[in-house]
Structure 1
């Protein structure tokens, strides 16, 4: 059965009477990067198939969130942009970075992005810029081109200016009603027939477009998202008879993240250790050409010189994420989810600058602690949280033990062997967590494990290590598998303590799976 997300995601279908949760044995979800959004999540969370497969060309980040979290970083197969081009699955690109004299320095960033109205205003009636874009379009020629704009008005203006210069063009956007606009399907049909030469769009063609004969993509607005950049680049990489390569014209000015362009062409999104001005040292896919105006090389060098310290970048990133959350202080999980990947990767490699290792102290430095957190910060509870924030975790075994103490928010001072076993099995029975039980274990072998074997492993490894390396917080107690010190009893009733303990456990579990995925991918 094939279904659209918009239809299947309705409440009338997601119920026991229409589709029981286990109705499908095998569920395939295309464009899986949208699975962070409400309608997709409703489907993902409702159905319990034997096997669920998500397909996407842009998994790293979408809408500021990570889709890897949804599948616990369980990735059966992936292929990079570079590998796909080298294998002949996509055509090579000829990328030209064109210097754009437009001054972006006075524009405001809202939630990490330029204000659309301000962008449109500096482009409007900018004859010099229109002439420059037309000049480069004519220089590299095209039968069918797609131009990405910042707004509906910008798309309209670009179509008008190209028509004035003798290039039949239209603007395509939702609810189009402009003089130069065209309905989406009609515009695609006319472009394929070459009745028009260029479609100027906003975000409508970022995905779901199938015009294999496209031979040029023009990026006419600042690159602010690695994912959007790759989606727009990818619109023209489809193989087509007689098509040798895709021309990409990227008009780059002094905007934020301008220096990322050379690195984005590799198809990745993490560049914390690299500089844009070193682009000539980058090994691009076979038969691809990358050429930047010399003025851009100078611009990239200037941007690198102005790079903020990592401490200041982390601070700014924190407040950017807070703004995304409408002013709410982000949890560790939310900061992890929304943080730019290059900054996050740097934090992981530099413990001193890593806010996730001492988040309460980080919030204190930011003057972001609530009254409850202030009380927690000055007591022994902060020391305990710091221990579980930083305890070594080459394996994931400590997590189910700590979850048994957390007990869904009703924190226990001590746990019995039976309670440990319940938490342990619940953890390893979830998804593919069983793979972390032992190296090279098969699912059949895991299912044959007895309760006695499970408990023996829990006691001999994580429980023993927590007691020996937990700075005295984890102790022996008669009749129990493990306990925590008596002077923490008052802390466990503090709402802030509960909140942060849960947040630490969720973040550290997810970070473990992220790290395991990265290592396996290497």
Structure 2
């Protein structure tokens, strides 16, 4: 056997037939290299051969997708990250243990395609039988580092690393400029493109691993939050490959047509049907508009079980009636929701549909750092030309015709044009408040020598162009600026756009992100995106900096505009600049909002207007964004979820339920009892057997309630990482009873001894709930409190996607 290996180390690593143990220690791991040795690792795992890996995140060269792959491929606890005191971590060694004598390959090769196949790398094989002293010393050093100077890799650690990961090659372009210029041919270890085939990018690979894992965990639905421009549709197409029948639902035909092209290329199938625009062609892969499919006469013609895999695009719409009708009708093996709106910014009713199972979350900050999207330069420009206090404001938004009229003034057009010229870019997309506003702005720009057109839905207007023609001309540079309303918000790709002009007030974070996303896509020759945002004293102005909040901003003190503009809080090569007067407007608005405790009641009435009846706790909670819920929690005693009965009595005369003191006491206990895990929920549910209350529950009742509750995978997540609970599904009845008796039965009877009493054979409620507990509306009100505590816990604690904590 050759001991000196100066190329293609992967060939030497393929000789593992006599191995009874494998250890790797490398500075970094790349997905491309991991795929080369995946067969060997899988063989070892399947044959009970232990594999251990010690690596690092030193210099951010290790890819998050590679860590996810290792984490899901190897047994729990066998992948470690170095956390010792050394400022660097450079070892590269591959140990193969054997009864016949082990060997270790020691040298320069990390786990990457370049290091294992293509690069100039020198390694040397030390054999136990030939150099026992060196071999044993290396093994001992590995054990020391692995056992005493490393931390076990967990999904939470990888998630944290991934959220701040910066694509290392972005630095290489500058740092290695001279080195690369001398090379005969570029070696791109990330290029997994095969002629004529699409392959996933790194973010899509991560998401695919997460989706595969969530299905293995028993989940039948999930949501992927992926920044606009990263490739949500391609992700869905790749994930659909293992399913024979697929339904893709979207609300715009342009989105569906783009999706058809993507799925056709990735699935390599012509068995694709359309269900919109008068076409009803139910093929095994079907693309349907929500408007058509949600109609009863159409949806009932399709077997609910026909499609194994259902994809709902732009999932932030999913809580609307038409979407809910589709989601509730079909019974797929797996449901995937796709959205670009971050978890904390969207209402929770969207996430409830997937039982708060956010399988993957990549915001636009992370996507920029990974070089998947373009950097941006944001300018918050003071708009002194409009007094928004004079514009009618109804039902949470400005009256459209009044707003449009107020914005269509010459001095505002002057202001916008002046800044447009000083920041000039060749391809600009401008968002206006309405069609007349767009036409007026195009006319103004044309009169000032700029080639301007509009794209909207009103035929016959002077500056209107067909959308496809307009986009093509913008790409070619024969149009300098396009004024539009909402037609470019979702699903349309205009990568060439290098400046976004916000000529309308920001009333929705979701819409702002969608419009921002139109310009963040990468394009040849495009260095970054400029955003000119004209900010006045409009309502909700304080939401602008919220768009740019991220995990590095949380906990910072000072003005929010200063926090988000701080370089350390921004993606690489990005900039945020607010005019001083804009800062004043935003801060005044934020202070006013904080002082308005009535905002809580406003949230309630917004929800009631949508529902047209008194909301339950769960419905109110689902109507909130995570930021809004964090705001509510900050009010402590005024948090309606701490005493929803009293809140409703004070806030809404339509709430007619009357309860006795003991019943209110029981409900307040449910609303306030502490949760470190979900153990108390199945106990509380056991007292309500299919809606029928009982004061005493037996040991058997409790066991059955626990089994039913933890049969739900989203509930089981709470205990599956607890060493003593991993085998819960194999527990005997006595083990389940012991788990319940030692935890919720014990602690409820201890902390709420005025309500509960533990029994040798079960548990009982010792207060008299009187006639209340015989009324269905009272029972429903109590069950809603239990369901709310469960949902809140899963959403905020288990998924760790909120800035709030469960108290």
Quote the offset at 1:8 in angstroms: 5.7
With normalisation by structure 2, the TM-score equals 0.58
> For the Cα contact (< 8 Å) 2:451–2:478, is it kept in 1?
yes
Quote the Cα distance in structure 2 between the aligned partners of 1:47 and 1:444. 32
Pick the aligned partner of 2:574 from 288, 311, 320. 288
2:500: which partner in 1?
217
Pick the aligned partner of 1:142 from 422, 425, 430. 425
The alpha-carbon distance between structure 1 residues 60 and 423, as it changes in their structure 2 partners (threshold 3 A), is same
Quote the Cα distance in structure 2 between the aligned partners of 1:414 and 1:22. 45
Quote the offset at 1:349 in angstroms: 4.8
Larger radius of gyration: 2
The alpha-carbon distance between structure 1 residues 339 and 31, as it changes in their structure 2 partners (threshold 3 A), is closer
1:228: which partner in 2?
511
> For the Cα contact (< 8 Å) 2:391–2:406, is it kept in 1?
no
2:638: which partner in 1?
353
Residue 336 in 1 paired to residue 637 in 2? no
> For the Cα contact (< 8 Å) 2:686–2:705, is it kept in 1?
yes
> For the Cα contact (< 8 Å) 2:451–2:479, is it kept in 1?
yes
The alpha-carbon distance between structure 1 residues 447 and 301, as it changes in their structure 2 partners (threshold 3 A), is closer
Quote the offset at 1:333 in angstroms: 1.7
Higher relative contact order (CA 8 A, sep 6+): 1
Pick the aligned partner of 2:789 from 508, 513, 520. 508
The residue correspondences of 1:264-343 to structure 2 (distance < 5 A) are 264-266=547-549, 275-279=559-563, 280-281=565-566, 283-309=569-595, 311-326=597-612, 328-343=613-628
The residue correspondences of 1:107-126 to structure 2 (distance < 5 A) are 107-124=391-408, 126=409
> For the Cα contact (< 8 Å) 1:86–1:286, is it kept in 2?
yes
Quote the offset at 1:487 in angstroms: 1.7
Number of paired residues? 514
Quote the Cα distance in structure 1 between the aligned partners of 2:393 and 2:787. 31
Quote the Cα distance in structure 1 between the aligned partners of 2:375 and 2:626. 26
> For the Cα contact (< 8 Å) 2:746–2:758, is it kept in 1?
no
> For the Cα contact (< 8 Å) 2:755–2:767, is it kept in 1?
no
1:34: which partner in 2?
317
Quote the offset at 1:488 in angstroms: 0.9
> For the Cα contact (< 8 Å) 2:757–2:764, is it kept in 1?
yes
Quote the Cα distance in structure 2 between the aligned partners of 1:492 and 1:108. 48
1:398: which partner in 2?
680
The residue correspondences of 1:426-441 to structure 2 (distance < 5 A) are 426-440=708-722
Quote the offset at 1:271 in angstroms: 8.0
The alpha-carbon distance between structure 1 residues 267 and 238, as it changes in their structure 2 partners (threshold 3 A), is farther
Residue 365 in 1 paired to residue 650 in 2? yes
Quote the Cα distance in structure 2 between the aligned partners of 1:474 and 1:444. 29
The alpha-carbon distance between structure 1 residues 369 and 382, as it changes in their structure 2 partners (threshold 3 A), is farther
Deviates more, 1:155-164 or 1:1-10: 1-10
Residue 248 in 1 paired to residue 531 in 2? yes
Quote the offset at 1:285 in angstroms: 1.4
Quote the Cα distance in structure 1 between the aligned partners of 2:778 and 2:320. 30
Residue 127 in 1 paired to residue 418 in 2? no
Quote the Cα distance in structure 1 between the aligned partners of 2:581 and 2:628. 27
Quote the offset at 1:20 in angstroms: 4.9
Higher strand share: 2
Quote the offset at 1:426 in angstroms: 2.3
Deviations 1:281-340 (A, max 9, x none): 4622111121222222333343345344262332333333334444x3332222212234
Quote the Cα distance in structure 2 between the aligned partners of 1:442 and 1:234. 46
Quote the Cα distance in structure 1 between the aligned partners of 2:695 and 2:456. 59
Deviates more, 1:212-221 or 1:415-424: 415-424
2:730: which partner in 1?
448
> For the Cα contact (< 8 Å) 1:33–1:61, is it kept in 2?
no
Deviations 1:114-142 (A, max 9, x none): 22122112113x00011111111122112
Gapped runs of 5+ residues in structure 1? none
Quote the Cα distance in structure 2 between the aligned partners of 1:303 and 1:43. 40
Quote the Cα distance in structure 2 between the aligned partners of 1:521 and 1:357. 19
> For the Cα contact (< 8 Å) 2:649–2:655, is it kept in 1?
no
Pick the aligned partner of 2:697 from 407, 411, 415. 415
Deviations 1:439-468 (A, max 9, x none): 346998344233443333233322332223
Aligned partner of residue 705 in structure 2, secondary structure: helix
Quote the Cα distance in structure 2 between the aligned partners of 1:346 and 1:63. 14
> For the Cα contact (< 8 Å) 1:33–1:59, is it kept in 2?
no
Quote the Cα distance in structure 1 between the aligned partners of 2:548 and 2:610. 27
The residue correspondences of 1:470-509 to structure 2 (distance < 5 A) are 470-475=752-757, 481-485=762-766, 487-509=768-790
Gapped runs of 5+ residues in structure 2? 1-245, 247-284
The alpha-carbon distance between structure 1 residues 498 and 108, as it changes in their structure 2 partners (threshold 3 A), is farther
Quote the Cα distance in structure 2 between the aligned partners of 1:226 and 1:471. 47
Residue 239 in 1 paired to residue 522 in 2? yes
Deviations 1:167-197 (A, max 9, x none): 2333323354533333333332332233322
The alpha-carbon distance between structure 1 residues 177 and 509, as it changes in their structure 2 partners (threshold 3 A), is farther
2:305: which partner in 1?
21
> For the Cα contact (< 8 Å) 1:259–1:277, is it kept in 2?
no
Deviations 1:351-409 (A, max 9, x none): 3232211111222333546332xx21x53211111011111111111112222223343
> For the Cα contact (< 8 Å) 2:687–2:695, is it kept in 1?
yes
2:749: which partner in 1?
467
Quote the offset at 1:247 in angstroms: 0.8
Quote the offset at 1:210 in angstroms: 0.4
The alpha-carbon distance between structure 1 residues 166 and 3, as it changes in their structure 2 partners (threshold 3 A), is farther
| Alpha-carbon RMSD | 3.2
Quote the Cα distance in structure 1 between the aligned partners of 2:554 and 2:726. 41
Quote the offset at 1:483 in angstroms: 2.9
With normalisation by structure 1, the TM-score equals 0.88
> For the Cα contact (< 8 Å) 1:21–1:46, is it kept in 2?
no
> For the Cα contact (< 8 Å) 2:662–2:767, is it kept in 1?
no
Aligned partner of residue 353 in structure 2, secondary structure: helix
Residue 103 in 1 paired to residue 409 in 2? no
Aligned partner of residue 306 in structure 1, secondary structure: helix
Quote the offset at 1:251 in angstroms: 0.5
Quote the offset at 1:62 in angstroms: 7.6
Quote the offset at 1:51 in angstroms: 3.9
Quote the offset at 1:92 in angstroms: 0.6
> For the Cα contact (< 8 Å) 2:671–2:785, is it kept in 1?
yes
Aligned partner of residue 664 in structure 2, secondary structure: helix
